[in-house]
Amino acid sequence: MMLTVDQARTRILDAVTRMPTKKCDIVDSLGSVLAQNVYADENIPPFDNSAMDGYALIAGDVKAASDENPVTLDVIETIPAGYAPAKQVKNGQATRIMTGAMMPSGADSVVMVEKTESKEDSVDIFDPAAKAQNVRFAGESVKTGDLVMSAGKVIRPQEIAMLASLNISEVDRYQPPKVAVVSTGDELTPLGAELKPGKIRDSNRYGICAQLVEAGFEVIDMGICGDDVVELERNLRSALGQADALITSGGVSVGDYDVVKIVLEKLGDINFWRVAMKPGKPQAFGIADGKPIFGLPGNPVSSLTVFELFVRPALLKMAGYTKLLRPTFEAVLETDIKNDTNRVNFMRAIIEKHNGRYHAKIAGDQGSGILYSLVLANGLITIPANQTVYAGETVDAQFFGDAS
């Protein structure tokens, strides 16, 4: 039986569950998902302070100030950022104040330094001031007791900055999965070794590991494994012992040496699927020791595409994410494309915005072994099964990563 892309993805997503939660240093939390609500124990900012370098004063004192008739005030103190004022501002007085410095009591306004002229012990003010002007009030960003972030939020740099400003150095988050990766195939040669007749370089493992790192997961690199049942079983059992999920590359299509299938079937409840898509028709998925195993096809383009469409969303779900798929959008096709197969075709494309619309052109030869076309491409476009899409019509498109 052939599964549709949606059927295969639904089965995978239904089968994987969230990782446990664990406290971690905020420095290490980037890209993970909060598993707790975060409340403020402190006001931010903690005290009323100046938003400008200038003079803190009583607004009522400078109502009539202008360029022609400046108001002169006595300067009683200078307050740099980081210091508390010692003196109270009274009528006729001002305090020189720096950005972020604490407002002195008595003052209700700050006039920026550009609107003043400093004298020996006094200052001329050239502009009238409104009450509260250039003052940042205690708690105006966040108040003690506020719910600042809810469980389920993805932690970005700004969340880490906010946690730090709340004096929170550790947070409870869903643990990102550790993922073991093994390349299978007697033809695979490590980098640096001589390429003997019939052999090729192992590129998939590098690509998959990079996809994992890009998505924020920890990689356990299990190296290359030959098409040998004993060696592969040893490798995969060791991988399962260390990792939360396992990815194999190669050996899941018909006509392969059956070693990957034999070993995966021994490990757990693994299904070998034909998914109605091009590239990436043969795939394996199942659960062993409660951990998902993804058997990716060996062809480099299939491997990368299947990871994008199935593995990445599943691992994101494990990591606590709720938004699992890359956003899709419409792109105008630049040439006619005929898909006369009963499989949806994910084509590598160069997608660019012209005059407010995305346009897609095909990135090189589309054979599933042509890795170079992925190097040219910045996204995928979808040509539905048994359909011809003509130039000027639109197709669904998605970018790789943050490309745009």
Give the nearest residue (CB) to ligand AMP: 298
250 binds Mg ion (CB under 5 A): yes
Instruction: State in angstroms the smallest separation of the CB of 282 from ligand AMP.
Output: 7
Round to whole Å and give the CA distance between 128 and 398: 55
Per-residue contact flags (x/-) with Mg ion for residues 282 to 311, judged by CB under 5 A: ----------------x-------------
- Identity of the residue, 257 or 372, whose beta carbon is nearer to Mg ion in the bound complex: 257
Give the nearer residue to Mg ion in terms of CB position, either 250 or 295. Answer: 250
User: Quick check: 251 binds Mg ion (CB under 5 A)?
Assistant: yes
Closer by beta carbon to Mg ion, 133 or else 203? 203
Q: How far is the CB of 187 from Mg ion (least distance, A)?
A: 7
Minimal distance, residue 260 CB to ligand AMP, in Å: 8
Could you say which of ligand AMP, Mg ion, none residue 299 binds, taking C-beta under 5 to 8 angstroms by partner kind?
ligand AMP
- 203's contact among ligand AMP, Mg ion, none, with CB below 5 to 8 A by partner kind, is ligand AMP
Q: Least separation, in Å, of the C-beta of 251 and Mg ion?
A: 4
Q: Which is nearer to ligand AMP, 285 or 321 (CB)?
A: 285
Residue whose CB is less far from Mg ion, 77 or 258: 258
Kindly state the smallest distance separating residue 286's Cβ from ligand AMP, in Å: 17
Residues that bind ligand AMP (CB under 6 A): 183, 185, 187-188, 200, 202-205, 249-251, 253, 256, 297-300, 369
Nearer to ligand AMP, 70 or 251 (CB): 251
Query: Rule CB under 5 A: which residues touch Mg ion?
Result: 185, 250-251, 298
